[in-house]
Amino acid sequence: MTGSHIDTVRTGGKYDGNYGVLAGLEVVETLQREGFSPQRPLSVAIFTDEEGARFAPDMLGSLVYVGGLPLEEALDTPAIDGPRLGDELSRIGYAGSVPCPGVAPHAFVELHIEQGPMLEANNVRIGSVTGVQGISWQEVTITGQSNHAGTTPMNLRHDPLYVASEIVVYVRNLSQRFGGNQVCTSGKIDVHPNLINVVPAKATLTLDIRNTDNAELLRAEAEIVQFLEAIAVREGVSITSKTLARFDPVQFDERVISIVHETAALLGNTVQKMPSGAGHDAQMLARVCPSGMIFVPSVKGISHNPAEHTDAADLQAGADILLHTMVSLTTATFS
């Protein structure tokens, strides 16, 4: 099996997910046209809600497919703007009939743009992906005391937006202090009542914490909890935290990694082994079958942005490698 996703973030580009789906369809069409008879059936998966931007968690479609989340629970998931996932899938004609959990493939390989700068920086065309970082998504709500912006002395304020700003700075400093593959992002902040002359009553922000090492990810989560407890006392506010998504790091199958790496090299491409900083459907498929990924460069490392771009020659190279990798996987044996 190959495939990817066709959903996107609101400010996304045209390659994220779509490339892997279209390349998979092209591979199957090419093999059919050439009369290739595989020893195992080939299939292309088109997963929904990989991004998790509107319906959390991310990789929700593939998570349901592998049995990691009950179908009815997933369909009942509310969007950030209210509607249920099941209702929205029906509304747009995407309420599919594929049974979930689905059939576990013999192997799964996903072709994707890197969404980062490393391949381009190293002047390498192909990444054979070794695994995916662990991901922790949290929604932090800070409740303080709304008050007049002009008459409330600074030392008597219980300002949730100020606390939110300290949290943003803290997680950035934490990632720099940890080093390695630790990254932290606060991508969304909502403030109430959001008026120029009012000390806010409430602020809600999201935290996206990632690391390839689960022990380090756990350590980062623990330190953030300690910081939230301390700053709540110091500033006289209440803080609650809700987990939106939590996935351990995933290591891909060594045999799949080797097939991707060797195939890329045999076809004349420069190739390097590398982890993925982004989450992908392949990490969910890895729960039920040997899995791996193929990366092609992202120009300037830009993704989740309309400026996202990959050169045509790199797109072609990735599709060629996907074709030959899938052919090899039909006869591959796994311990």
- pTM, rounded to two decimals: 0.91
What is the separation of C-alpha 140 from the centre of its chain, rounded to a whole number of angstroms? 20
Q: Where are the beta strands (DSSP E) in 69-168?
A: 108-113, 126-132, 134-143, 147-148
Measure the CA–CA gap between 16 and 51, rounded to whole angstroms: 10
Measure the CA–CA gap between 23 and 294, rounded to whole angstroms: 12
CB-CB contact of 330 with 40 (8 Å)? yes
Nearest to 29 by CA among 55, 113, 21: 21
Measure the CA–CA gap between 273 and 270, rounded to whole angstroms: 11
Q: Which domains does the chain have, with CATH numbers?
A: 2-133+251-331 (3.40.630.10), 134-247 (3.30.70.360)
Residue 93 burial by Cβ neighbours in a 10 Å radius (0-12, 13-18, 19+): exposed
Measure the CA–CA gap between 296 and 309, rounded to whole angstroms: 11
pLDDT by residue, tens only, the chain of 335 residues: 999 999 999 999 999 999 999 999 999 999 999 999 999 999 999 999 999 999 999 999 999 999 999 999 999 999 999 999 999 999 999 988 889 999 999 999 999 999 999 999 999 999 999 999 999 999 999 999 999 999 999 999 999 999 999 999 999 999 999 998 999 999 999 999 999 999 999 999 999 999 999 999 999 999 999 999 999 999 999 999 999 999 999 999 999 999 999 999 999 999 999 999 999 999 999 999 999 999 999 999 999 999 999 999 999 999 999 999 999 999 999 97
Nearest to 240 by CA among 204, 273, 191: 204
